[in-house]
A and B are shown apart, each in its own frame.
Chain A
Amino acid sequence: MPYRLLKYALSQQYPEARMFRVPKRLKNRYDVVIIGGGGHGLAAAYYLARDYGITDVAVLEQSYLGSGGTGRNTAIVRSNYLTPEGVRFYDESVRLFRDLSADLDLNLFYSERGHFTLAHTDATLRTMRWRAEVNKHLGVNSELVGPAEIAEACPELDLSCGGHFPIVGALYHPPGAVARHDAVAWGYGRAAGQRGVEIHQQTAVTAIRIRNGEVAGVETNRGFIETRKVLSAVAGYTPRITHMAGIRTPLVIHPLQACVTEPLKPWLNAIIVSASLHLYVSQSSRGELVMGAALDPYELHSTRSTLDFAEGLAGHLLELFPFLSDVKVLRQWAGLSDMTPDFSPIMGRTEVKGFYIDAGWGTWGFKATPVSGKTMAYTVAKDDEHELIRPFTLSRFAEYELVGEKGAASVGH
């Protein structure tokens, strides 16, 4: 082993294949330009190449791969949403996630844990009953459970919440899972690269050129690229891109903060969520507790962290798990959430021909990575929305046809 290591260190060429092909130069023309090298953009590139043979594709990332929401979420995958449109869409994503490690030949640490959304009031319980019935009707494994079942699955939980918010039941979703979010982006990026897609990091789009209502190309910090099709998959940075294209959207950016504790021995199998306490927590394969809370209360395009958040989250965590009082927080960070008024994404064509949008990912983007990649690839290839995303087009606002998704994360009921 030391010899192999020495040989590796001294070798002029990389003895192991690199994870990504690094393209030598940026061409001045591509069939498709994808803005955003996060999970969604890379997944769309992969499915464009794999399913439609469109490989003359450039993915432009202003920073490094997965530097945005992809690497900043709390990595939960589930499909127990409230609207039939949402449930169908996210359930397809769960199905794709299950086979993804094998498809991408990379261990994504996809781990089905069971997902409990706790109810502390009768009103919440009623919404959960509604969600469970919609889920079951559409074939999603989801049911309402009482305190006894919760205690059995998670005996560490203080069901009385210190006497403040006693738990009266939960929505239980056995397929709820966690995955290693960076690996999802890397796996899609590598697989897309192997099929000929070019991934250009440190390449920022500065303008979008539109001629007669059609996309003509994009300006970047490395020069102009001529293209007829642009997919914007930049989540929290979407308003900056749509502003360049002259497209108005309802998106408002709020920071969403998260943190992890120091690693602990495995004790928490389930994913525990409480909308009333603004908390979701799971234990990663490294033993850290991964936690998130509600959105920051006002618009901000900054990934700064606040003490307010850490204090609030710790207080609520201790109401559920009082024995964690001496556990330390290891890291804290924030991501930009592009919130829509109805908590559903914005996907599909826009009024500018050739400009496709994959946005409105708010607090629910990671779990949709495979299905959004697949459906956006279809949309870009066929210049028509995939059936699963037809309810989510930008034009739904002008037509007053919103998709009220109250099953989204960080949404109070």
Chain B
Amino acid sequence: MKLMRCPVNGLRPIQEFAYGGLFRPSPDPDRSTDREWADYVFSRSGEPALKKEWWYHIASGTWFIAERDTRTDEIVETYLFDGA
């Protein structure tokens, strides 16, 4: 069984988690052009890499950041979002 470490609840089965997509800081909607905004809304860095992602622990309602290698599925680190 694949396990993931929730920063609050510790190691839990991967089935308890939901993937929230790539961590992507939003540009200022009032200052970006339509093109820049479309790029933010639709474009992704789809190539395999060590990525920073949003994950959600369903049972406890905890959103957090996971650093995961999308080629090997190795979860390197998980931590709560500090707002920065």
Interface range on chain A (Cβ under 8 Å from partner): 20 to 34
- CB-defined interface of A235-260 with B at 8 Å, one 1/0 digit per residue? 00011101100001111110000000
Cβ < 8 Å to B, chain A residues 194-251: 238-240, 242-243, 248-251
Residues of chain A lying within 8 A (CB to CB) of residue B47: 239-240, 243
Contact in complex: A298, B19 (CB < 8 Å): yes
Given contacts A248-B39, A398-B38, A400-B38, contact A302 B71 (CB under 8 A): yes
Residues of chain A lying within 8 A (CB to CB) of residue B34: 398, 400
Contact in complex: B42, A302 (CB < 8 Å): no
Given contacts A298-B19, A308-B15, contact A397 B70 (CB under 8 A): no
Alpha-carbon distance between A261 and B2 when the two chains are bound, in angstroms: 25
Given contacts A248-B39, A302-B72, A398-B39, contact A297 B19 (CB under 8 A): yes
Confirm or deny: B27 has a beta carbon within 8 angstroms of a beta carbon on chain A.
no
Confirm or deny: B43 has a beta carbon within 8 angstroms of a beta carbon on chain A.
yes
Confirm or deny: B61 has a beta carbon within 8 angstroms of a beta carbon on chain A.
no
Residues of chain A lying within 8 A (CB to CB) of residue B46: 238-239, 242-243, 249-253, 299, 338
Contact partner, A249, options B43, B51, B73, Cβ 8 Å: B43
Contact in complex: B43, A250 (CB < 8 Å): yes
Confirm or deny: B31 has a beta carbon within 8 angstroms of a beta carbon on chain A.
no
Residues of chain B lying within 8 A (CB to CB) of residue A239: 44-48
Q: A350 to nearest B CB, angstroms?
A: 13
Alpha-carbon distance between A193 and B48 when the two chains are bound, in angstroms: 33
Q: B76 to nearest A CB, angstroms?
A: 15
Contact partner, B70, options A248, A250, A299, Cβ 8 Å: A299
Confirm or deny: B18 has a beta carbon within 8 angstroms of a beta carbon on chain A.
yes
Cβ < 8 Å to B, chain A residues 300-326: 300-302, 304, 308
Confirm or deny: A341 has a beta carbon within 8 angstroms of a beta carbon on chain B.
yes
Residues of chain A lying within 8 A (CB to CB) of residue B72: 302
Q: A405 to nearest B CB, angstroms?
A: 15
Closest B residue to A395 by beta carbon equals B38
User: What is the predominant secondary structure among interface residues of chain B facing chain A?
Assistant: mixed
Of residues B34, B35, B44, B53, which shows the largest number of chain A Cβ atoms within 10 Å of its Cβ? B44
Alpha-carbon distance between A317 and B73 when the two chains are bound, in angstroms: 28
Cβ < 8 Å to A, chain B residues 41-64: 41-48, 51, 53
- CB-defined interface of A330-346 with B at 8 Å, one 1/0 digit per residue? 00000000100100000
Alpha-carbon distance between A194 and B37 when the two chains are bound, in angstroms: 48
Residues of chain B lying within 8 A (CB to CB) of residue A400: 34, 38
Residues of chain B lying within 8 A (CB to CB) of residue A399: 38
Closest A residue to B51 by beta carbon equals A299
Contact partner, B48, options A250, A298, A301, A338, Cβ 8 Å: A301
Q: B28 to nearest A CB, angstroms?
A: 19
Alpha-carbon distance between A243 and B46 when the two chains are bound, in angstroms: 8
Closest B residue to A338 by beta carbon equals B46
- CB-defined interface of A383-413 with B at 8 Å, one 1/0 digit per residue? 0000000000000011110000000000000
Alpha-carbon distance between A302 and B70 when the two chains are bound, in angstroms: 8
Contact partner, A299, options B15, B18, B19, B43, Cβ 8 Å: B19
What are 29 A-B contacts with C-beta separation under 8 Å? A239-B47, A240-B47, A240-B48, A243-B45, A248-B39, A249-B44, A249-B46, A250-B43, A250-B44, A251-B44, A252-B44, A252-B46, A253-B48, A253-B70, A297-B19, A299-B22, A299-B51, A299-B53, A299-B70, A300-B70, A300-B73, A301-B48, A301-B71, A302-B71, A308-B15, A397-B38, A397-B43, A398-B35, A400-B34
The 10 closest A-B pairs by CB, nearest first: A239-B46, A298-B19, A301-B48, A248-B43, A397-B42, A250-B42, A239-B47, A243-B47, A251-B46, A398-B38
Residue ranges of A at the interface with B (Cβ–Cβ < 8 Å): 238-240, 242-243, 248-253, 297-302, 304, 308, 338, 341, 397-400
